[in-house]
Amino acid sequence: MNQLFVPTEPSARDDAQQAAPVTVAHGDGIGPEIMEACLRVLTAAGARLAIERIEVGQDVYKAGHGAGIAPEAWDSLRRTRVLYKAPITTPQGGGYKSLNVTIRKTLGLYANVRPVSAYAPFVETRHPDMDVVIIRENEEDLYAGIEHRQTDEVYQCLKLITRPGCERIVRHAFAYARAHGRRKVTCFTKDNIMKLTDGLFHRVFDEIAEDYPDIETEHMIVDIGAAMLADTPHAFDVIVVPNLYGDIISDIAAQISGSVGLAPSANLGTDFAMFEAVHGSAPRLAGLDMANPSGLLLAGAMMMAHLGQIRVAERVRNAWARTIEDGVHTFDIYREGRSRRAVGTADFAQAVIDRMGHRPRSLPVARYAAAPAMPAPPPRNRQPARKELVGIDVFVQHVGTTEALADMLRPLGRGRLSLGMISNRGVKVWPDGMPETFCTDHWRCRFTAAGRASIRKADIIDLLSELALHGVDFIKTEHLYTFDGTPGFSVGQGQ
Ligand code: NAD
């Protein structure tokens, strides 16, 4: 029962609603004090919430729960389907899993939505016109956590990008843009280098864009895109990105808007949602009544809209904006001359409560409404491609020269497979390698069908038996397939 946040007139129906069940986690560090402040403001705005409290974070980690969440907390989440979460402290050292990654993956929260605006002239920023929404894919990419040490010198992290994953997040980005009256969606990838994985994300972006002719689209390579976002953020509207790039650029965006303490974040899936601030638990500020509760409060407003309590969301956002306009500021955004009153966490919350029912004078007036459901995983009605096995990349640990390795491997394959190429860290070193290329102990040795278009799995097993017999230290293999005749593997120099 997920919803987007559409700008429309306030709906009367939210007044008739029952209390919405919500799971609340107070977190660590500044978490408890900012959560208390936010719940006070939400209550003053008329939020109808049936709160179930759960413990997450440091104490739970220390009690032996490796992901920072106790098993019974999942029961609450299954009941309420909505989590309002203060930041937690992730303990240092091995053996602890990220609570956020665990929650995102367990609850299928595939979309991380981070609206970042400037609040000039009330909050100092070099980018007064910034108003961008970053929609980050939340489950895939290098965050699968599949890592291996393969040789003495080489470690690997697997980057997984799936078509259904791309389709869901890109469709969500376009649906969000249309629902919010935004004019442009920009996609960042690095598909000039990662032609298959990032290439898929870009291709799906282009495909889905065709269903949204009313929305302008652009694609940028992520390095120049991130640089432009930091330099001219007002040139962007909605940005959709794979997981890792999104992680990095959304923090950059939050920081340059004025303070990391201002930015909210929604993690959305088809059945569950989690709302939190972008920032962490700021342990040094803990217990000092100094932290800015705005990020968590604006996340709370997003949650109220998600729950269909539209007027509450608007009341919170408007009173908050009026407080910021009135110059009532926590230390992180307080500037002599620009601000009027320096306040702590609790007094800031009280200032927002005192302005409940007021609208901002010059900042935009909040307008939220509930909207259609999140896109479910796309149906698997595609015809499977014609998949042909045409070879194998055998990764080998070898200390010695390229020539020695090539001489050892060339006679192998029993006439059915033959050595076509060796590369080291993606650079072709045989045949016709350059003597200057630095080589590690990790070699990719490509065997392809000798004179035949396709091979059988048994040919691969025979090859590997032969390699084992000759003492070749193979540490990993990747099958080479064509899909409808198109290679499903990188080809050519430097890949
Ligand atoms: P942080 O966001 O806690 O702090 C970064 C800087 O921003 C610090 O100077 C801090 O004082 C300041 N800051 C953060 N929130 C603020 C606020 N509301 N008001 C005013 N200033 C604020 O990041 P960190 O120091 O890298 O991480 C601290 C802990 O938080 C770590 O254990 C980390 O793992 C955890 N963390 C948790 C989450 C989460 O639960 N979602 C997110 C990020 C980091």
The answer on 293 and 227 residing in a single domain is: no
Domain boundary among 248, 276, 306: 248
Task: Say if 118 falls within a structural domain.
Answer: no
Alpha-carbon gap, residue 89 to 29, rounded angstroms: 7
Paired tokens of 250? 């959304």
The answer on 96 and 74 residing in a single domain is: yes
Domain count, the chain: 3
The answer on 435 and 456 residing in a single domain is: yes
In the reported structure, the alpha carbon of residue 218 is separated from the centroid of ligand 1 by a whole-number distance in angstroms of 33
The answer on 231 and 185 residing in a single domain is: yes
In the reported structure, the alpha carbon of residue 15 is separated from the centroid of ligand 1 by a whole-number distance in angstroms of 36
Do 178 and 375 contact (CB within 8 A), yes or no? Answer: no
448: domain CATH number is 3.30.70.1570
Q: Long-range contacts: 93-97, Cβ < 8 Å, 24+?
A: 95/66, 96/61, 96/66, 96/67, 96/68, 97/66, 97/67, 97/68
Ligand 1 pocket, 86 CB below 6 A? no
Which residues have CB under 8 Å from 449's CB, separation 6+? 390, 391, 416, 417, 455, 459
The answer on 103 and 47 residing in a single domain is: yes
Q: How many residues does the chain have?
A: 495
Alpha-carbon gap, residue 243 to 205, rounded angstroms: 15
Using most ligand atoms within 8 A of CB, pick from 281, 290, 294 the residue to mutate for ligand 1.
281
How high is the mean pLDDT in each 10-residue block of the chain (495 residues)?
36 63 97 98 98 94 89 94 94 79 90 94 92 95 91 96 95 91 96 96 97 97 97 96 95 86 92 94 96 97 94 97 97 93 98 97 83 61 88 97 95 90 95 92 94 84 96 96 94 57
The answer on 284 and 220 residing in a single domain is: no
Q: Report which protein residue has its CA nearest ligand 1's atom 43.
A: 280
Do 325 and 362 contact (CB within 8 A), yes or no? Answer: yes
Work out whether strand 82-85 and strand 273-277 pair parallel, antiparallel, or are unpaired. parallel
Neighbours of 55 (CB within 10 A): 17
136: domain CATH number is 3.40.50
Alpha-carbon gap, residue 419 to 466, rounded angstroms: 13
The answer on 102 and 1 residing in a single domain is: yes
Give the model's pLDDT for residue 249.
95
Task: Say if 120 falls within a structural domain.
Answer: no
Q: Report which protein residue has its CA nearest ligand 1's atom 12.
A: 282
Task: Say if 379 falls within a structural domain.
Answer: no
pTM exceeds 0.85, yes or no? yes
Task: Say if 176 falls within a structural domain.
Answer: yes
344: domain CATH number is 3.40.718.10
Q: Report which protein residue has its CA nearest ligand 1's atom 42.
A: 280
Which residue range(s) make up the domain with 363?
1-113+258-370
Alpha-carbon gap, residue 290 to 468, rounded angstroms: 64
Give the model's pLDDT for residue 386.
93
Please choose, from the candidates 364, 247, 243, 351, the residue with its C-alpha nearest in 3D space to the C-alpha of residue 292: 351
Domain boundary among 220, 248, 276: 248
Task: Say if 378 falls within a structural domain.
Answer: no
Q: Cis peptide before 233, with omega less than 30 degrees from 0?
A: no
Give the model's pLDDT for residue 381.
66
In the reported structure, the alpha carbon of residue 158 is separated from the centroid of ligand 1 by a whole-number distance in angstroms of 28
Ligand 1 pocket, 90 CB below 6 A? yes
Give the ligand 1 atom nearest the CA of 283: 28
Give the model's pLDDT for residue 370.
60
The answer on 56 and 106 residing in a single domain is: yes
Paired tokens of 197? 């994985």
Domain boundary among 316, 337, 370: 370
In the reported structure, the alpha carbon of residue 282 is separated from the centroid of ligand 1 by a whole-number distance in angstroms of 4
Give the model's pLDDT for residue 5.
38
Alpha-carbon gap, residue 420 to 405, rounded angstroms: 13
Alpha-carbon gap, residue 358 to 98, rounded angstroms: 40
